[in-house]
Chain A
Amino acid sequence: MKRGNSLILPAWLSRRFDAHPVRRPARLPLPVPLAGVAGLVALFVAIPVVYIFLRAAGADLDDWQRLLQARIWSLLGNTLLLVAAVTGGALVIGVSMAWLTERTDLPGRKVLRWMFAMPLAIPAYIGGIVHLALLRPRGGLLPQMLESLFGQPVLTPSPLGFLGAAFILTLFTFPYVYLLSAAAFRSQHASLEEAARTLGCKSWQAVLFVTLPALRPGLLAGALLVALDILAEYGTVALLRYETFSSAIFVQLSGRYDRSAASVLSGVLVALAMIILWTELRVQGQARFTQMDGSWRPAPLTALGRWRFPMLTLALSVVFASLLVPVGVLLAWSVVALLDPQTLQEVVRTGSRGFLSFALNSLWTSALAALVAVTLSLPVAVFSVRHPSRISRFVARFCQVGYAIPGVVIALSLVLLVNRAAPVLYGTPFVVVIAYVLRHMPQAVRASEAALNQLSPALEEAARISGRTALQAFRQVTLPLILPGLLAGGALVFLTSLKELPATLLLRPAGFDTLAVRVWVWAADGFDAQAAPAALLLVLASATPLFFLLRREQLFK
């Protein structure tokens, strides 16, 4: 029985019982050409990071001093506070919702699984735009409604600042933790909890002392990825006026053109991200003990009893805030926009400023990025999976640095690098594509590695024995068999590239608008209704690959 390997989830979770047994590495002569190509890919990925560190180290001492005196510490405080709050919030919501849908008799849990996963298709800044329009202290729809209802202003929570940013970002990042923990809950042996019960634990004690600790490494890995995401987040924090490293760098770059200060800030940000990424990679390596094997059977469901209704309410309110409200409001605005002739004209204007061209720009840049990223990931994955050694592991790890380079930093280094090294590219959309590739390379590498890991090396060996060279064996046997996995990896890169905002904003040539850029610009100018159709299209375009990716998961079968 061959199961699809998971991409949204880390590789260790999808390594199921049908995976081939770990085999001693084949010690054929080191494939020099393969190692060379893989090394070149790693080098390509590494250039922006190294360059940023060099720039930061080479910045004026005055710049460092100026920044150290005031900015860096408050930015560091702000950033870490937000990262901690959102990661914690996402863990609490993600794990508890996963427990509800996987381990209890909550009504409608099959539908709820989809509802909890789908917010991944909504970029956080679009969610932010909607919630801001609803809750804004002055002029927000909800305060206005309440005022007209009660005849006097009613105090409502403001979405601006720290609390607002933490709230919005938690709403749109918890699905990642949810998917991870739901899959882990599911793959866990029933016998684990049963053993705890026979040893005298009550049901809740078994969950607390056995189930959750056993999931800990996996959850930690998920939490760290959320943390990296928050470090890189620009749109939402800028919108809600909460200053973090990312937004400060963006301001330095786009407003003040102070590249030296931007480099210093970027250096610190990337160093911070590297620490988190390094921890994540380490944790991932250890997180092996929730695998399924032949004797797996589902754990019995906990009967919620009189808690059924309160728990359902809780689950539905999460769905309401993270999925129904944003999609509903975008739909309503879109209808308004399409009914109003003037807005309609703005929206559907033809030519390079038309809706169609934004959509096409989004599609081709993201699709090209997906294609390039998957292609580049192949030699790296083959090298690390089929020729495991210290060198190949290092190369594969190096290709993960994209996770630790926020969009603004990629933009900064590309602006500087392209200017210097390849001015031909400057001012073309290809710089945007390069940024997407660099940033989303890790997902492609992980996907390709996962696909290869599921394929027994004996198949390639059988092809070699039947008279094929290594390259022929790869083309005729390996490639056709891992193609579904590669497509899924490409879909993931496509999905995340579509949503990428800061790098696109900073690197696009003048007049080159994507859906994400248009939504952002219109919303920033206050034309929410005008932005809505574009935002809706962006969400739909993301939801489609997400739907197919989720269908590959065991959870949704």
Chain B
Amino acid sequence: MTRLSVTHLIKRYPQAALPAVQDVSFEVEDGEILALVGPSGCGKTTTLRLIAGLERPDAGSICLNGQEVASDTRFIPPEQRGVGMVFQDHALFPHLNAHDNIAFGLRRWRPAEARQVVDDMLKLVGLAPLARRFPHTLSGGERQRVALARALAPRPVLVLMDEPFSSLDTDLRLEMREQVRSLLKTMQASVVFVTHDQEEAMYMGDRLGVFKSGSLEQIGTPEQIYQTSATRFVAEFMGNSSFVAGEVTPAGIWTELGLLSQAVDLPAAAAVEVAVRADDIDFQPHPVGNGVIIDRSFRGMHNLYRLRLDSGLELRAFKEHTTILPVGERVHARINAGHPLCVFPDTAKG
């Protein structure tokens, strides 16, 4: 069943030249976690707030559980939408203790039932002993869990999470996201999760939606996004790709790294860019070669080299940890991927 469907959503701010959200459509299935990812200011948080009812869309519609909650003619206020939200800074009510914070959304429930749910939630997030503590006496991770419990307690149709781990430090963030993901899966919650961290998005999301300046560039599983990026931006943002210029020939794509024998759906002589990652490049020392080593950093399991090709393009390339070559050495670099690479028309060259 479809929990959330967003169609042709548009949101403009008066002073801004471009819309904050531009014709965005997607769906979230029952029990699915959708991670929206993109650089800051790309419209992902605005999308979340539109779903919550904290902002009003300029066009498009939002359906929750099959019921229309926002469209040109309807606007259901946030309190009637039945969604749960975990805020970036947690937004715990400082005048209420952990128990009462979680109980806040259960006002209409029978008291005994509500108490039971709160106790269950506290146990579930491992905070039962801290039920009477006030937010300022809790640690960052504990606050995070109270916020999550508060959002989940009323059994919301949909859980919205706005960069929930951004206020935690790195170690805690890694630990929390494991806990949170398994908890969400246990409760079979449907979730829209917003983050600017690609790795976090790939970890948390069953599917990913990549945003760029207000538009959804691509939506799909982490593997799809990583391996068959739909646009140059997705390849660059999600995969740390470099781009090598090439030209389409009948035999494949001719680049300065040699011929890439891969069929593309483009006319011959079209200018293209090939997205390559550090593990797609191999190189050997060569007296003539096509580039030079400008930097090497030892990463334990492998060496990460930076090469400057004679065209001026800089690339990164992995080598096994035993292969140590001096900076300044001339090398011959070539593509050695073992799988199809993403190819994009070179818009700069028309």
B-contacting residues of A (Cβ < 8 Å)? 2, 20, 24, 26-29, 456, 458-459, 461-470, 477, 480-481
Stretch in contact with the other chain, from B22-30, B59-67, B88-96, B308-316: B88-96
Contacts of B95 in A (CB 8 A): 477, 480-481
CB-contacts of B79-95 with A (<8 A): 79-81, 83-85, 87-89, 91, 93-95
Answer whether A27 and B55 are a contact pair too, CB < 8 Å, given A466-B79, A469-B79: yes
Asked if A28 and B105 make an inter-chain contact with CB atoms under 8 angstroms apart, the answer reads no
- Contact call B88/A468, Cβ cutoff below 8 A: no
Contact of B136 with A466 in the complex, beta carbons under 8 Å: no
- Do residues A461 and B105 form an inter-chain contact, with CB atoms below 8 A? no
**Is the CB–CB distance between B75 and A29 below 8 Å?**
yes
Within 8 A of A (CB), among B37-66: 46, 49, 52-56
- Looking at B52, B79, B88, which has the most chain A CB atoms within 10 Å of its CB? B79
Instruction: Give chain B nearest CB distance to A28 CB in angstroms.
Output: 6
User: Are A462 and B77 in contact, with the CB atoms below 8 A?
Assistant: no
A458→B105 contact, CB < 8 A: no
A sample of 6 cross-chain residue pairs with beta-carbon separation below 8 angstroms, ordered by A number, consists of A24-B13, A24-B46, A26-B55, A29-B56, A458-B87, A459-B91
A29 — which chain B residues lie within 8 A by C-beta?
A: 56, 75
A-B interface pairs (CB < 8 A), number: 75
Q: B54 contacts which of A28, A466, A477, A480 (Cβ < 8 Å)?
A: A28
Given the known inter-chain contacts A2-B94, A27-B55, A29-B56, please indicate yes or no for A467 contacting B85, CB distance below 8 A.
Answer: no
Give residues 105-121 of B contacting A (CB, 8 Å).
Answer: 105, 107-108
B77 and A27 contacting across the interface, CB-CB below 8 Å: no
Residues of B within 8 A of A477 (CB): 93, 95
Inter-chain contacts of B94 with A (CB < 8 A): 2, 481
Interface string of B91-104 (1 = CB under 8 A from A): 10111000000001
* Bound complex: CA A481 to CA B151 (Å): 21
Question: B55 contacts which of A2, A28, A470, A480 (Cβ < 8 Å)?
Answer: A28
In the complex, the chain B residue whose C-beta lies closest to that of A390 is: B14
Residues from chain A with Cβ under 8 Å of B104 in the complex: 462-463, 466
Across the interface, do B54 and A26 meet the contact criterion of CB distance under 8 Å?
A: yes
B13 engages A27 (CB within 8 Å): yes
Q: Are A464 and B136 in contact (CB under 8 A)?
A: no
Residues of A within 8 A of B93 (CB): 459, 462-463, 477, 481
Contact with A465, one of B13, B55, B79, B88 (Cβ below 8 angstroms) = B79
Q: Would A464 and B107 count as touching, CB distance under 8 A?
A: no
Alpha-carbon separation in the docked complex, A464 to B82 (Å): 10
Q: Do the beta carbons of B89 and A464 come within 8 Å of each other? A: no
* Chain A residues whose CB sits within 8 angstroms of the CB of B107 once the complex forms: 466-467
Shortest Cβ distance from A481 into B: residue? B95
Chain B positions within 8 Å of A2 at CB level: 94, 136
- Beyond the given A27-B56, A481-B94, please list 18 additional residue pairs across the A-B interface where CB-CB is below 8 A: A2-B94, A20-B89, A24-B13, A26-B49, A27-B13, A27-B55, A28-B55, A29-B75, A458-B89, A459-B91, A461-B91, A463-B104, A465-B83, A465-B84, A466-B150, A467-B107, A467-B154, A469-B79
CB-CB nearest in chain B for A462 = B91
B13: nearest chain-A partner, CB-CB: A24
Selected contact of A468 from candidates B54, B79, B81, CB within 8 Å: B79
Closest 5 CB pairs of A and B: A466-B105, A458-B91, A464-B78, A462-B91, A458-B87
Q: Give Cα distance in the complex from A45 to B81, angstroms.
A: 39
Hey, what's the 0/1 contact readout for B258-302 against A, CB within 8 Å counting as 1?
A: 000000000000000000000000000000000000000000000
Which residue in A459, A467, A469, A480 is a CB contact (below 8 Å) of B105?
Answer: A467
Q: Which B residues touch A456, using CB under 8 A? A: 89, 91
Query: Which of B85, B91, B107 has the most A CB atoms < 10 Å from its CB?
Result: B91
- The chain A residue with its CB closest to the CB of B156 is A465
Cβ distance B137 to chain A, nearest Cβ, rounded Å: 12
The answer to whether B89 and A28 have CB atoms under 8 Å apart is no
Chain B residues, Cβ within 8 Å of A480: 95
Is there contact, CB below 8 Å, between A461 and B85? yes
Q: What residues on B are CB-neighbors of A462 within 8 Å?
A: 85, 87, 91, 93, 104, 150
Q: Smallest Cβ distance from B48 to chain A, in angstroms?
A: 11
A461 and B107 alpha carbons, distance in the complex (Å): 16
Specify the chain A residue showing the minimal Cβ separation from B106: A466
CB neighbours (8 Å) of A470 from chain B are 77
Q: How far is the CB of A2 from chain B (nearest CB, A)?
A: 7
Contact of B75 with A458 in the complex, beta carbons under 8 Å = no
Inter-chain CA distance A28–B13, complex, in Å, is: 12
- Whether B56 contacts A28 by the Cβ 8 Å rule is yes
User: What's the minimum C-beta distance from A119 to chain B, rounded to whole angstroms?
Assistant: 36
Min CB distance, A471 to chain B, in Å? 11
How far, in whole Å, are A409 and B95 apart by their CA atoms in the complex? 43
Least CB separation from B162: chain A residue: A458
A476 vs chain B, min Cβ distance (A): 8
As a 0/1 sequence over residues 159 to 182 of chain B, the CB contacts with chain A under 8 angstroms (1 = contact) are 000000000000000000000000
Q: With A and B bound together, what is the CA distance between A470 and B77 in angstroms?
A: 9
Looking across the interface, which residue of chain A has its beta carbon closest to that of B153? A466
Nearest CB in chain B: distance from A455 CB, A: 9
Instruction: For residue B235, give the distance in angstroms from its CB to the closest CB of chain A.
Output: 30
**Are A464 and B91 closer than 8 Å at their CB atoms?**
no
In angstroms, Cα B53 to Cα A463, docked, is 12
**B204, chain A: closest CB distance, angstroms:** 20
Q: Give B167 Cβ to nearest chain A Cβ, in Å.
A: 11
**Residues in B whose Cβ lies below 8 Å from that of A458:** 87-89, 91
With contacts A469-B79, A480-B95 taken as known, whether A464 is within 8 angstroms of B87 at the C-beta atoms is no
User: Are B56 and A464 closer than 8 Å at their CB atoms?
Assistant: no
* Distance in Å: Cβ of B108 to nearest Cβ of chain A: 7
| A461 and B78 form a contact (CB under 8 A) | yes
List B contacts of A28 (CB < 8 A).
Answer: 54-56, 77
CA distance A292 to B13 in the complex (A): 30
Inter-chain CA distance A28–B49, complex, in Å, is 11
Of B75, B78, B104, B108, most A-chain CB atoms within 10 Å: B78
B108 and A464 within 8 A (CB): no
Highest count of chain B CB atoms <10 Å: which of A2, A27, A481: A27
- B105: A residues at CB distance < 8 A: 465-467
Report B-chain residues with C-beta under 8 Å of the C-beta of A24.
13, 46
Is B85 a contact partner of A465 (Cβ separation < 8 A)?
yes
